[in-house]
Amino acid sequence: MLQVQFIRENKEVVLAGLAKRNFADAEAIIEKVLNADENRRATQVALDDVLAESNTLSKEIGGLFKSGEVQKANILKEKTSQLKEQSKELSETLNGFADELQNLLYQIPNIPHASVKAGNSEEDNEEIFKEGIIPDLGENALPHWELAKKYDIIDFELGTKITGAGFPVYKGKGARLQRALINYFLDKNIEAGYKEYQVPHLVNAASATATGQLPDKDGQMYHSTVDDLYLIPTAEVPITNMFRGNLIQESDFPITATGYTPCFRREAGSYGAHVRGLNRLHQFDKVEIVRVEHPDKSYHALSDMVEHIKDILRELKLPYRILRLCGGDTGFTAALTFDFELFSTAQDRWLEISSASNFETFQANRLKLRFKNKEGKSELAHTLNGSSLALPRVLAGILENYQTKDGIKIPDVLVPYCGFEMIQ
């Protein structure tokens, strides 16, 4: 959430940033924010004046009673009663303006970093890096959903029977490969200095709001209405919320965390090959990395995250590229996002497998996550997160790019985790 003071002092910067995102009615909502803030501050001043006058009169009344001037004291008591009623009305008005302001601020996305270019959609994203050799699989290469059926390692129909579309069942070596990837990703993250956590898979509304899923993604999350809990769309939500409301010291930086969770997303996909198989699911596994950083060091930390993910993909020997997302494709809470995509040779297309993002103070403002700077003043921290990695499309890429006439070869780095070298 943007800070209202920043909006007030940098209105043109905010509008220019929102224009990069093609944010509709930016000027109108910013004007509403400024008006609500002006009304809130004016009401606060009026309330403070009434409370100050009431306190002054209370002291006078005490002195009058002590000196025996009861009649004068009772007259002032009547006035304090009126002031109490006035303060109650002002408090209600103030709460109304504060709620209005909060609701308006919840509707405004983060301001993109200066390096982010304007754009409408993924078509306008910038490719900034590419690495790896795309294998020549010949004309008989199969997409992963056909390989899954051929080797009986993922059953999409069985998942549909049990739950519905988008909930696959992993079987035999498919399940073992899935588990191997999770353990490998966690080990790599731990070696890089991330502390592992096991976190709840459901969160309350306060947690979903703090990291920006609510109200922006309301309707895209699975909601248990009886208990008012939400199934998590990513481990970012519970891990980041571990630090909600904290006041930390500069010496605590950097705070790094990693965790594996299943992820749940209601997003309805269109039909066709681009969403077949593992390409888009309602439940999938992901290993996440999260950082809480000093504002001066958060972009260096983002670069470190990007290099860390690159190292994993190099070890898996998968062809990949990195995109810097344009304003129109950058997520609601992010200031800068790098997407990683691997090339699926059998599908002849790029598949997104990771995002690494810096949210700057946007999440921290909602989280009330602050640190004490060297001057002893509290300041908002920066939060970052990245997928390291999302499993479905990594698994799809391995199945497709490592297929041979004899079966599917397991990447060398995963063999110790799997306990086998081929799926046949």
Residue 74: how many other CB atoms lie within 10 Å: 12
Question: How far are the Cα atoms of 2, 151, 152, 164, 336 from residue 146, in angstroms, in the given order?
Answer: 47, 9, 10, 19, 37
Give residues with Cβ within 8 angstroms of 410, minimum separation 6.
Answer: 177, 398, 402, 418, 420, 421, 422, 423
* DSSP states of 50-90: HHHHHHHHHHHHHHHHHTT-HHHHHHHHHHHHHHHHHHHHH
Reply yes or no on whether the pLDDT at 140 is more than 90: no
Averaged pLDDT, 133-142: 91
> pLDDT tens, 84-111?
999 999 999 999 999 999 999 999 999 9
Q: Which residues are annotated as a binding site for ATP?
A: 265-267, 352-355
Reply yes or no on whether the pLDDT at 270 is more than 50: no
Q: What is the pLDDT of residue 274?
A: 64
* Rounded percentage of the chain residues whose pLDDT exceeds 70: 98
Averaged pLDDT, 283-291: 98
Q: Which residues are annotated as a binding site?
A: 234, 265-267, 288, 352-355, 385
| Domain spanning 122-423: CATH superfamily | Bira Bifunctional Protein; Domain 2 (3.30.930.10)
The ranges assigned to domains in the chain are: 4-106, 122-423
Reply yes or no on whether the pLDDT at 38 is more than 90: yes
Distance CA 104, CA 2 (A): 10
**378-380 and 370-372 beta bridge pairing:** antiparallel
Architecture of domain 4-106: Orthogonal Bundle (1.10)
CA torsion, ordered 267, 101, 204, 287, to nearest 10 deg: 50
Q: What is the distance between the terminal CA atoms of the chain, rounded to a whole angstrom?
A: 51
Confidence of residue 275 (pLDDT cuts 50, 70, 90): confident
Q: Which residues are annotated as a binding site for L-serine?
A: 234, 265, 288, 385
Q: Are the C-beta atoms of 286 and 390 separated by less than 8 Å?
A: yes
Distance CA 323, CA 353 (A): 12
CA torsion, ordered 10, 15, 18, 23, to nearest 10 deg: 140
Q: What is the pLDDT of residue 268?
A: 55
> pLDDT tens, 348-403?
999 999 999 999 999 999 999 999 999 999 999 999 999 999 999 999 999 999 99
